[in-house]
Amino acid sequence: MAHDAFHFPTKEGFTFRMSEEKRSDHELIEATKNGDESAFTEIVTRYKSPLTNYLYRFLNDYEEAVDLAQETFVRVYFAIDRYHTQFAFSTYIYRIATNLAISEIRRRKRRRLFSISGLLAGEKDEAAEFEIPDDRALPEDELLDSERDTQIARAIAALPEKYRIPIILRDIQGRSYEEVSAVMDLGLGTTKSRISRGRALLKEKLQEYLR
Amino acid sequence: MPEENDLELADAELTNLLASMPKVSAPNDFEFRVSARIASARIAAKPRGLFGALRIAVPAAALLAVTATVLILNPYWSETATVSEPTEVAVAKEPQEAPATVPGREIEIPPTTFASNGPSIRPERRMEVDDPLTSVSRGPSNDDAGTSFVESGTQGEKIYPRGINPNVDSRPVSPNETRTGISIRDILGQLGVSFSPTANGLQVDSVAANSIAARSGLLAGDVIESLNGQRISADTVLFGAFAARRIVVRRDGRPVGISLGR
């Protein structure tokens, strides 16, 4: 039997289904819809690290990445009835994570933006906004093995969102072009173009490591 | 072609570089924390149905009740509510003395000096009545608020405290309320006259030297018949502002008018 499994309680409150045969994402989703919480736990276990790694490369903040990854699964859980299995689940979950990450980045920008219109307003009393560069040291430097990794992380973090997302998905997470375009809800050509442009920007910044 | 190959080579190098980045893993208690968040979200989403509706309806009803109470009890709103008939408002403010009440127009208010017969109208005692729609809370006596009211008279200047306009006694009083006033004895005493009531009027017993009455020509033996045109007796009590101007006395059987203040 495909699902010849047994359950045992864990401290997490879920039960793990031990099976010799790995169930597909869609099967797990269907099982979750039918009330099998262990199936959802399996989904979490399957995607927790890829998603955390993706969000970490996106945000450069491990704690925030873990938090958003958890939030992603919570949202998936409560919206699971609305998920249609004609789409790849990985695409679905990466899209949710991406939207959360974009929201987080915009929230950070709002915190860093402030107006000094009183000091430098023009004659038309136009408010001037200045973005303060984020010069904070990466808090997870210890996770990076070398100075090279630090420089790569900084170069990725400096990319505009529209290039950073496809570069991380394609070149770090190893997703296909089709998946990347589906996550970003863009055409395949636009996606490839952005990846190409993002790579060009990275090459400029990482020249010393490419020779 | 060589350039394209170089570009592809550079892309390959870059992708290898990016792929070689160390992968971070989720913490070991990740599933537990997800399950805890899901449970927490379930609890937060629970109060629906009747209880959920009550959570919104009860504070809303309380807010409405408080607002309604404030609107009803607040005197400002109470006055505003009756302003649709401006005439009635003014009457309500001055139930006894303020008859004319067209808002925004200049009106004449008769002096509120005498309790018995209404005295003559003095031209200088005109005032602007506020438009109740724009200044409802102000009473007539507030026209001079902030300045001391000075009234010239035969007895010199009377200086009243700020906010007190002696021309207008607008204090709302009930028709049966006993009002305090100034007796005719006090008034004549200030003029320097001591008198005795007789059947014909107030007979002057004596006039103080250098008093207003003495300078005006009042003599002992005169019988005072009227003051400012109003017949007076020993029991006459005057209310509000008062300025004695003219006394009519009977002297040697003939009426004699005496202007005070000379």
At residue B176, the pLDDT reads 54
As beta bridge partners, residue A9 has: A15
pLDDT tier for residue B8 given thresholds of 50, 70 and 90: low
Question: Residues of B with CB below 8 A from A206's CB?
Answer: 14, 17
Phi, psi of A185 (to 5 degrees): 60, 45
Q: Of residues A57 and A5, which shows the higher confidence score?
A: A57
At residue B197, the pLDDT reads 87
Share of chain B above pLDDT 70, in %: 51
At residue B56, the pLDDT reads 82
Q: Does any CB of chain B come closer than 8 Å to the CB of residue A172?
A: yes
- Does residue B79 surpass a pLDDT of 70? no
Domain with CATH 1.10.1740.10 in chain A: 12-135
pLDDT, tens digit, 9 for 90 and up, residues A162-199:
999 999 999 999 999 999 999 999 999 999 999 999 99
At residue B46, the pLDDT reads 65
pLDDT, tens digit, 9 for 90 and up, residues A62-90:
999 999 999 999 999 999 888 887 778 99
Task: Calculate mean pLDDT across residues B69-94.
Answer: 56
Q: Virtual CA dihedral for B214, B220, B225, B227, nearest 10 degrees?
A: 20
At residue B10, the pLDDT reads 67
Query: For B18, which of A48, A74, A152 is closest by C-beta distance?
Result: A152
- Does residue B248 surpass a pLDDT of 80? yes
At residue B247, the pLDDT reads 87
CA distance A31 to B255: 120
Beta carbons within 8 Å of B58's beta carbon, 6+ residues apart: none
Q: Is the CATH number 3.20.20.20 carried by domain B182-259?
A: no
**Low-confidence winner among A31-35, A126-130, B46-50 (lowest mean pLDDT):** A126-130
CA distance B102 to B118: 22
Task: Calculate mean pLDDT across residues B159-173.
Answer: 56
At residue B262, the pLDDT reads 52
Going by the DSSP 8-state scheme, the letter that residue B163 receives in this structure is T
At residue B198, the pLDDT reads 84
Query: For B31, which of A45, A199, A202 is closest by C-beta distance?
Result: A45
User: What is the DSSP annotation of A35-85?
Assistant: T-HHHHHHHHHHHHHHHHHHHHHHHS-HHHHHHHHHHHHHHHHHTGGG--T
Query: Would you call A152 and B21 a contact, using CB atoms and an 8 Å cutoff?
Result: yes
- Does residue B1 surpass a pLDDT of 60? no
Q: Of residues A53 and B164, which shows the higher confidence score?
A: A53
* CATH topology assigned to domain A144-206: Arc Repressor Mutant, subunit A (1.10.10)
At residue A57, the pLDDT reads 92
Q: Does any CB of chain B come closer than 8 Å to the CB of residue A155?
A: no
Going by the DSSP 8-state scheme, the letter that residue B260 receives in this structure is S
ipTM summary value:
0.72
pLDDT tier for residue B63 given thresholds of 50, 70 and 90: very high
User: Smallest CA–CA separation between B40 and chain A, in Å?
Assistant: 10
At residue B233, the pLDDT reads 83
pLDDT, tens digit, 9 for 90 and up, residues B219-236:
888 998 888 888 888 888
pLDDT tier for residue B146 given thresholds of 50, 70 and 90: very low
Average pLDDT, chain A: 79
pLDDT tier for residue B165 given thresholds of 50, 70 and 90: low
Q: Of residues B16 and B97, which shows the higher confidence score?
A: B16
- Does residue B193 surpass a pLDDT of 60? yes
At residue B61, the pLDDT reads 92
- How many other β-carbons are positioned within 10 Å of the β-carbon of residue A107? 10
User: Smallest CA–CA separation between A117 and chain B, in Å?
Assistant: 39
Average pLDDT, chain B: 68
Q: Which residue has the tokens 């072009």?
A: A177
Q: Does any CB of chain B come closer than 8 Å to the CB of residue A203?
A: yes
Instruction: Note the CATH architecture for domain A12-135.
Output: Orthogonal Bundle (1.10)
Q: Of residues A63 and B149, which shows the higher confidence score?
A: A63
On whether the CB atoms of residues B216 and B262 are closer than 8 A, the answer is yes
- Does residue B76 surpass a pLDDT of 60? yes
Query: Would you call B15 and A53 a contact, using CB atoms and an 8 Å cutoff?
Result: no
- Does residue B84 surpass a pLDDT of 60? no
Question: Residues of A with CB below 8 A from B3's CB?
Answer: none
On whether the CB atoms of residues B255 and B249 are closer than 8 A, the answer is yes
Domain layout of chain B by residue ranges: 86-160, 182-259
On whether the CB atoms of residues B142 and B149 are closer than 8 A, the answer is no
pLDDT tier for residue B217 given thresholds of 50, 70 and 90: confident
- Does residue A143 surpass a pLDDT of 70? no
- Does residue A118 surpass a pLDDT of 80? no
CA distance B138 to B129: 10
At residue A163, the pLDDT reads 94
Secondary structure of A120-162 in HEC code, one letter for each residue: HCCCCCCCCEECCCCCCCCCCHHHCCCHHHHHHHHHHHHCCHH
Query: For B18, which of A45, A49, A172 is closest by C-beta distance?
Result: A172
